[in-house]
C-alpha cells in the first residue's frame, strides 16, 4: 500500500457516509430506553403496581415482530427523499409527535393512553430500525463495514445512555414530561441531520410485488449453501454474552454484595465507556482483518471475558475487581458486536436488505429471549460459580459453527464485493 493510500481512502463521500451512519445509529438507539426503562421508572415513581409495570414490558414485542412488516419497507418508497431515508425521516417525525403526546399522559391518570402511545413508539422505533439497518447494509462498502458497524453501535449505546440513565437524572429535576419533550427534540434533530447528511445510491431495485417482498427474501436466504449453519451462527455467536448479561446485575447485587451505587456507576459510566471503546477498536482492527478472522478473534475474547465475573463468584472482591470484570466484558463485547453487525450486513442480499436484516436481528434475539429462564434456574439450583462457568461454555457453539463455515467466507466476500 502506498503512503497516499490511507488519505485517498478517506474521501468526502466516505466521511459523509460514516457521519450519516453514526447520526442514524444515535437516532435508532434513543427510543428503545424511552419505551421501556424510562416509562418503567415513571410508572414506578407514580405508584403503579409491579404487575402493571411488568405488563408494560410487552410493548417490546415490536422489536422482535418487525420482520413481519419489513417487506413493506423493502417494497414501497414514501413520496419524499429516497427509499430508506424517506422511511427514517417519517418515523422520526411521528415518534416526536408520540413523545409529546406521552408527555401529556401521566401514568397515574392516563395509564391506557400512555401504554398505547408506548406501543406506538416501539412500533415506529422498530420501523425506523428496519430502514436504518437497510440503509447501512446498502450504502457501506465491504471495507467500511467494520468501522461503520462500530460507529453505529457506539452511537446507539450513547443514545441509550442519554434516554435511559441521563433521562432519569433529568427527570428528578424537571419531571418526566419535560424529559420526553427534550428527547423528542433530540431524536428529531439527530435523526433528521443524519438523513440529510447521508446520500443514498440505489444498489438494487425494490421487489416488483408486495407478495414477492414477503416471500423472496426468505426463499433466497433458505436457498443458500449451509444455510442452517449460518442460522445457527447468528443465533449462537453472542449467546455467551446474552447468558452472562441476563442476571449480571442480580449477581453483582445479591451474589457478591456490591451496592446499587457501585453497580450503577460501574455499569453506566465505566462499562458504557469500555463498550464504546471496544466497538471502535473492533472497527479499526477490522480494516486489517478478514471478517472470518475478526469474528474468530473477537468471539474468543468476548467469551473469555466472562472469566472476570467467574473470578468474582470464586471470591475476588473489591472495586478494582468489579471494574475489571465489567470493563473486560463490555470492551470485548463491543468488539464482538462490531464484527457481528458487519457479518449481518455481509449476509444481506441488497435486493431485500430491509427484510433480511430484520430477519437476522430477530434470529439474534432468540438467544437473548430464551436464555433468561435457564439462567435463573442454573443460578438458583447450582450457584453462581456454575452459572458463570456455563456462560463461558455457551461461547463454544458459536465458535464451532464459525469454524465449520470457514470455507464459506471466501464465497461470502466474493458475493458482497461484486
- What is the topology classification, in CATH, of domain 209-418? Growth Hormone; Chain: A; (1.20.1250)
Summarised one tens digit per residue, pLDDT across range 342-352 is 999 999 998 89
Element (H, E) at 268: none
Is a pLDDT exceeding 50 seen at residue 261? Answer: yes
What pLDDT shows up at residue 414?
Answer: 60
Supply the mean pLDDT for the chain: 87
Say whether pTM exceeds 0.85. Answer: no
Is a pLDDT exceeding 80 seen at residue 267? Answer: no
Q: Which of 76, 70, 64 is nearest to 215 (CA)?
A: 70
Cell numbers linked to 197:
447528511
Mean pLDDT of 21-33: 93
- CB within 8 A of 288, min separation 6: which ones? none
- C-alpha gyration radius of the chain: 21
Check: CB of residue 164 under 8 Å from CB of residue 38: yes
What pLDDT shows up at residue 253?
Answer: 80
List the single range of 112-126, 242-256, 354-368, 382-396 with lowest mean pLDDT: 242-256
Predicted confidence band of residue 250 (pLDDT cuts 50, 70, 90): confident
Cell numbers linked to 220:
433466497
- The string of DSSP letters for 13-69 reads HHHHHHHHHHHHHHHHHHHHHIIIIIHHHHHHHTT--HHHHHHHGGGGHHHHHGGGT
What pLDDT shows up at residue 53?
Answer: 74
| Separation between Cα atoms, residue 133 and residue 66, nearest integer Å | 12
| Residue 323 CA, distance from chain mean position | 23
Check: CB of residue 20 under 8 Å from CB of residue 190: no
Inter-residue long-range contacts of 178-182, CB under 8 Å, 24+ positions, other chains counted: 178/103, 179/38, 180/34, 180/99, 180/100, 180/102, 180/103, 181/99, 181/100, 181/103
| Separation between Cα atoms, residue 232 and residue 234, nearest integer Å | 5
Stated length of the chain:
418
What pLDDT shows up at residue 9?
Answer: 64
Decide whether 11-203 matches 209-418 in CATH topology.
yes
Mean pLDDT of 225-245: 90
What pLDDT shows up at residue 4?
Answer: 40
- What is the topology classification, in CATH, of domain 11-203? Growth Hormone; Chain: A; (1.20.1250)
| Separation between Cα atoms, residue 380 and residue 375, nearest integer Å | 9
Is a pLDDT exceeding 70 seen at residue 313? Answer: yes
| Separation between Cα atoms, residue 376 and residue 352, nearest integer Å | 38
Predicted confidence band of residue 415 (pLDDT cuts 50, 70, 90): low
Summarised one tens digit per residue, pLDDT across range 353-363 is 999 999 998 88
Cα maximum dimension of the chain: 67
Mean pLDDT of 184-199: 94
Predicted confidence band of residue 7 (pLDDT cuts 50, 70, 90): very low
List the single range of 39-43, 97-101, 155-159, 207-211 with lowest mean pLDDT: 39-43
Predicted confidence band of residue 197 (pLDDT cuts 50, 70, 90): very high
Summarised one tens digit per residue, pLDDT across range 104-150 is 999 888 889 999 999 999 999 999 999 999 999 999 988 888 889 88
Mean pLDDT of 406-417: 74
| Separation between Cα atoms, residue 135 and residue 20, nearest integer Å | 10
What pLDDT shows up at residue 127?
Answer: 95
Q: What angle do CA 127, 132, 137 make, to 5 degrees?
A: 130
Looking at 237-352, list the stretches that DSSP marks H as alpha helix, in order from N- to C-terminal side: 239-246, 248-250, 260-265, 272-285, 291-304, 307-313, 319-347
Q: Which of 210, 310, 300, 335 is nearest to 256 (CA)?
A: 310
What pLDDT shows up at residue 369?
Answer: 66
List the single range of 141-145, 149-153, 180-184, 367-371 with lowest mean pLDDT: 367-371
Check: CB of residue 130 under 8 Å from CB of residue 70: yes
Predicted confidence band of residue 194 (pLDDT cuts 50, 70, 90): very high
Percent of the chain with pLDDT over 70: 95
What pLDDT shows up at residue 324?
Answer: 93
| Separation between Cα atoms, residue 83 and residue 79, nearest integer Å | 9
What pLDDT shows up at residue 6?
Answer: 44
Is a pLDDT exceeding 70 seen at residue 416? Answer: no
| Separation between Cα atoms, residue 277 and residue 94, nearest integer Å | 32
The full set of domain ranges for the chain reads 11-203, 209-418
3-state helix, strand, coil in the chain (%, to 5): 85, 0, 15
| Separation between Cα atoms, residue 197 and residue 199, nearest integer Å | 7
Mean pLDDT of 210-232: 92
Amino acid at each position: 500500500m502506498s503512503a497516499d493510500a490511507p488519505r485517498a481512502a478517506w474521501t468526502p463521500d466516505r466521511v459523509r457516509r460514516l457521519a450519516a451512519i453514526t447520526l442514524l445509529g444515535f437516532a435508532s438507539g434513543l427510543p428503545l430506553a424511552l419505551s421501556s426503562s424510562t416509562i418503567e421508572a415513571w410508572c414506578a415513581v407514580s405508584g403503579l403496581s409491579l404487575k402493571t409495570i411488568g405488563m408494560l414490558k410487552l410493548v417490546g414485542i415490536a422489536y422482535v415482530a418487525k420482520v413481519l412488516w419489513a417487506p413493506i419497507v423493502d417494497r414501497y418508497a414514501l413520496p419524499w427523499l429516497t427509499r430508506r431515508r424517506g422511511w427514517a425521516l417519517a418515523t422520526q417525525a411521528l415518534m416526536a409527535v408520540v413523545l409529546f403526546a406521552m408527555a401529556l399522559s401521566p401514568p397515574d391518570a392516563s395509564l391506557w393512553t400512555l401504554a398505547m402511545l408506548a406501543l406506538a413508539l416501539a412500533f415506529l422505533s422498530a420501523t425506523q430500525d428496519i430502514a436504518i439497518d437497510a440503509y447501512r447494509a446498502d450504502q457501506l462498502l465491504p471495507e467500511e463495514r467494520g468501522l461503520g458497524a462500530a460507529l453505529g453501535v457506539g452511537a446507539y449505546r450513547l443514545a441509550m445512555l442519554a434516554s435511559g440513565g441521563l433521562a432519569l437524572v433529568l427527570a428528578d429535576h424537571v419531571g418526566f414530561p419535560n424529559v420526553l419533550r427534550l428527547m423528542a427534540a433530540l431524536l428529531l434533530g439527530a435523526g433528521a441531520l443524519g438523513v440529510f447528511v447521508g446520500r443514498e445510491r440505489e444498489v438494487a431495485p425494490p421487489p416488483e410485488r408486495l407478495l414477492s417482498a414477503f416471500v423472496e427474501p426468505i426463499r433466497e436466504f433458505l436457498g443458500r449453501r449451509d444455510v442452517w449453519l449460518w442460522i445457527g451462527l447468528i443465533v449462537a455467536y453472542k449467546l455467551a454474552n446474552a447468558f452472562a448479561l441476563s442476571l449480571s446485575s442480580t449477581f453483582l447485587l445479591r451474589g457478591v454484595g456490591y451496592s446499587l451505587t457501585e453497580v450503577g456507576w460501574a455499569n453506566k459510566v465505566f462499562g458504557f465507556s469500555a463498550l464504546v471503546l471496544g466497538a471502535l477498536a473492533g472497527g479499526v482492527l477490522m480494516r486489517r482483518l478478514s471478517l472470518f478472522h475478526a469474528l474468530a478473534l473477537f468471539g474468543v475474547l468476548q467469551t473469555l471475558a466472562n472469566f472476570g465475573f467467574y473470578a468474582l463468584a470464586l471470591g475476588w472482591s473489591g472495586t478494582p475487581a468489579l471494574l475489571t470484570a465489567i470493563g473486560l466484558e463490555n470492551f470485548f463485547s463491543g468488539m464482538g458486536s462490531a464484527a457481528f453487525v458487519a457479518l449481518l450486513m455481509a449476509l444481506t442480499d441488497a435486493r431485500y436488505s430491509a427484510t433480511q436484516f430484520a430477519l437476522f436481528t430477530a434470529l439474534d434475539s432468540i438467544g437473548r429471549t430464551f436464555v433468561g429462564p435457564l439462567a435463573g434456574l442454573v443460578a438458583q439450583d447450582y450457584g453462581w460459580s456454575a452459572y458463570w462457568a456455563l456462560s463461558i461454555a455457551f461461547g463454544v457453539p458459536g465458535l464451532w459453527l464459525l469454524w465449520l463455515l470457514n470455507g464459506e467466507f471466501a464465497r461470502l466476500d466474493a458475493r458482497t464485493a461484486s
